[in-house]
Amino acid sequence: MANLLEKYVVPGCRVDLQAIDRSKENKKEKEKEKEKSEGRKTYQSQVIDVLSEDRIEISMPMEQSKLILLPVDGEFDLYFYSDNGLYQCYARIVDRYKNNSMYVLVLDMISNLRKHQRREYYRFSCALEMNSRKLQDEEVELARKMEDSLIPQLPLKSSIIVDISGGGLRFVANYAYEAQSLILCKYYLLIGGEAKEYNLVGKVLSVRELENRKGVFEHRVQYVNVDDAEREEIIKYIFDEERKTLRKQKR
């Protein structure tokens, strides 16, 4: 594990933490819980230092400028975002303290570090303008091809993206599409300092009306025509925005 830590876990590396429930001893139950990890609370942090082959320091997570006091002896599922991919291990908090103006957690690794193949992409919370429309019948058969198969200049409806990932997005609007329908999603991301337009076809996985906002509908969408280059650009955009957020929190 030492070589993996030295190679992939470096100061400044982003790390996500998810609490582990050790009360379940049945291995099948643990696997089910692992598969449901997308629904567990995720805390975002950053590696400060690698102290040894099985001990690291990370910054204490924050939410809305408030520190999250994770408990000593608490066990967590860690996901490290390195330049070489996503790596996972289990760890236990052994200490927490304040160093100057920085709040620090010390964790001991309790499993080997391994490369993690995520079924789901990390979702980045945001507020981005998007225009969309339902695909025409003649476009549906061509939906898995690129945007030149789409009919241009058809009217679009406005909405707001509330989270985005390399696999899809979630948006809210004052109208509702049908679940399983295919839609065109048009939005801009800041890539390399310039606004780049994306025209991606997505499948609407689910639609629900927000309880506290009648007439406003939340849509979950999965891309069906994104190519590898576009996906990598979206993921890089998310990582860059996360780094900006962490730098602001440290200040």
Distances (CA, A) of 205 to 11, 78, 183: 38, 28, 11
Q: Which two tokens mark 129?
A: 């303008």
CATH number of 124-245: 2.40.10.220
**151-178 pLDDT per residue, tens:** 778 999 999 999 999 889 999 999 999 9
pLDDT at 212: 87
Q: Which residues of 131-157 are buried (b: 16+ CB within 10 A; e: fewer)?
A: ebbbbeeebeeebeeeeeebeeeeeee
Domain ranges of the chain: 2-115, 124-245
Same fold, 2-115 and 124-245: no
Q: What is the mean pLDDT of residues 220-240?
A: 87
| Per-residue tokens: 206 | 């689910």
Q: List, for residues 114-147, the tens digit of each pLDDT value.
A: 876 554 567 888 999 999 999 988 787 665 444 4
pTM over 0.85: no
Pick the CATH number of 2-115 from 3.30.1300.10, 2.40.50.1070, 2.30.110.10, 3.30.420.40: 2.30.110.10
Long-range CB contacts (< 8 A, 24+ apart) of 21-26? Answer: 22/75
Asked which of 27-31, 38-42, 118-122, 244-248 is least confident by mean pLDDT, the reply is 27-31
Please report the pLDDT score of residue 145 as a whole number.
Answer: 47
CB 90 within 8 A of CB 108: no
